Amino acid sequence: MKLGLAAAALAFSVSLPAAARACDSCLAASTPSVQMAFIMGSIFLSVTPLALVGSAVWWIWRRAKRLAAEEEAGVIRLPSAPARTVRRS
């Protein structure tokens, strides 16, 4: 049933390509330069969040690895400075 629906959808989109051209880069782009701008914009906006999340995961993974190594080696980290301290006289 699902396969049949998928095949029907594919056949529909192949037989009526104009209906499938619903994205901005096909319809709103009047010139090749605008079309290229739309394509570049789509790529940029798709890749940026993936790159951000990817770098965050990589950074956390590296940090976890370092902290685990420090713990194994018995490194004791002192807490950071308190929020308020007494002023020097």
Residues lying near another protein in the complex (CB under 8 A)? 30-31, 33-34, 36-38, 40-41, 44-45, 48-49, 52-53, 56, 60, 63-64, 67, 77, 80-85, 87-88
| DSSP assignments along 16-52, one per residue | -HHHH--SHHHHT--SHHHHHHHHHHHHHHHHHHHHH
Q: Which is nearer to another protein, 17 or 49 (CB)?
A: 49
CB of 11 to another protein, least distance (A): 33
Q: Which is nearer to another protein, 2 or 84 (CB)?
A: 84
Are 24 and 38 in contact, with CB atoms under 8 Å apart? Answer: yes
To 5 degrees, how large is the angle CA 49–CA 23–CA 47? 15
Q: Which is nearer to another protein, 2 or 88 (CB)?
A: 88
